[in-house]
Amino acid sequence: MAPPRNRRPGFSRRAQYGLFLSYVVAIGGALIAVVLIALSQLNAPAYSALRGAVREVTAPISASLGGVRRGITGVPSGIGQYFGVVSENQRLKKQLRQSGDLVQRARTLGRENARLRRLLQLRDRDPKTVAAARLVSSSPGSTRRYAVLYAGSRQGVRKGQPVRGPEGLIGRVLETSPNTARVLLILDPESIVPVQRTRDGLPAIAVGRGDGLLDIRSADMANAPFLAGDAFVTSGTGGIYPPNIPVGRVTRNSRDSAIARPFAGPDSVDFALVQQIFMPEAPPEPEPTGEASDQPS
């Protein structure tokens, strides 16, 4: 039997080229190593310069490969930090909402504390105060404006007594029960309060509109000018309301009558003072019990 023509079975040209290139690389590496060893022994300065040039070439490549390696190894920790940051962000948002609620409650308590302090100072300064009590309800949705005061006849509250808050006049007592009283607010259309302007003493009448505002009407002057910002206080006329209690402030310029906003809104007042009537009616004179008779001398 004739021998096969290909005496190297299983070898392809690609394998032959690969084997040849590996030999070339190995021999070239050996020659470069021999040259470098000889250069380091025979000419050390040239070897140092060559080594520095190699470093200059390989340093950027090493830095890039190091950055890639650090990026790959930092992926797990980055994922963990991301989820940690998300949870921390949610926790901080929750804490911020709680802090906002606490700040809001603190502001509300601060405003209420300030109103109560003014009310206490007013009560201590005014010897005519009958009682200090809470306004437990009011009727903002009706044309008739009333409020309920948590103090009644047992606390000395009587019909007709004025009711005021730290900011100004609220109304007057309309009827009483043992522990509560019904207050007619100055916003009610049936409420009429004699007032005067603070800047010149112009007498006027404050009448409720039923919508949270007041009508200020001149009492002795036709076409009296009203300017925005004019403040009106009680004048003491009529004998019910003590003088100089703030009532309302004009909202815009007008003549003969003006719309004013009350200083003390019943919706924003928690506590109120009941005061004595400024000029109570004199008691009736006692009737004579018998007629005088003449005695003969």
* Residue 173 contacts residue 149 (beta carbons within 8 Å): yes
Concatenated DSSP letters for 26-57?
HHHHHHHHHHHHHHHHH-HHHHHHHHHHHHHH
Handedness of CA 37, 39, 42, 48 (dihedral sign): negative
Residue 167 has pLDDT above 80, yes or no: yes
Residue 83 has pLDDT above 70, yes or no: no
* Residue 184 contacts residue 190 (beta carbons within 8 Å): yes
How far apart CA 259 and CA 209 sit, in angstroms, is 9
How far apart CA 138 and CA 147 sit, in angstroms, is 4
Per-residue pLDDT tens over the stretch 188-232: 999 999 999 998 889 999 999 888 899 999 888 778 899 999 999
Ranges 68-72, 104-108, 222-226, most confident = 222-226
Residue with tokens 């703030």: 246
Handedness of CA 261, 263, 267, 268 (dihedral sign): positive
The amino acid occupying position 257 is S
Tell me which H or E stretch contains 103.
Answer: helix 44-125
How far apart CA 184 and CA 144 sit, in angstroms, is 9
Helix axes of 44-125 and 13-42: crossing angle, nearest 10 degrees: 90
> Which structure tokens are listed for 294?
């003449």
How far apart CA 115 and CA 122 sit, in angstroms, is 10
Per-residue pLDDT tens over the stretch 252-264: 999 888 999 999 8
Instruction: Residue 192: name the closest of 163, 161, 234 by CA.
Output: 234
Integer CA distances (angstroms), 157 to 149, 163, 221, 241, 272, in order: 10, 10, 37, 15, 12
Instruction: Residue 271: name the closest of 149, 184, 158, 171 by CA.
Output: 149
pLDDT at 30: 81
* 248 burial level (CB within 10 Å; 0-12, 13-18, 19+): buried
More confident residue, 185 or 91: 185
pLDDT at 233: 93
Q: What is the mean pLDDT of residues 239-259?
A: 91
* Residue 218 contacts residue 224 (beta carbons within 8 Å): yes
> Which structure tokens are listed for 249?
């402030």
Residue 173's pLDDT band, with cuts at 50, 70 and 90, is very high
pTM over 0.75: no
How far apart CA 272 and CA 137 sit, in angstroms, is 12
pLDDT at 259: 93
Residue 113 has pLDDT above 80, yes or no: no
DSSP state at residue 221: -
Domains, the chain: 130-275 (2.40.10.340)
CB burial string 55-79: b at 16+ within 10 A, e below: eeeeeeeeeeeeeeeeeeeeeeeee
Supply the mean pLDDT for the chain: 78
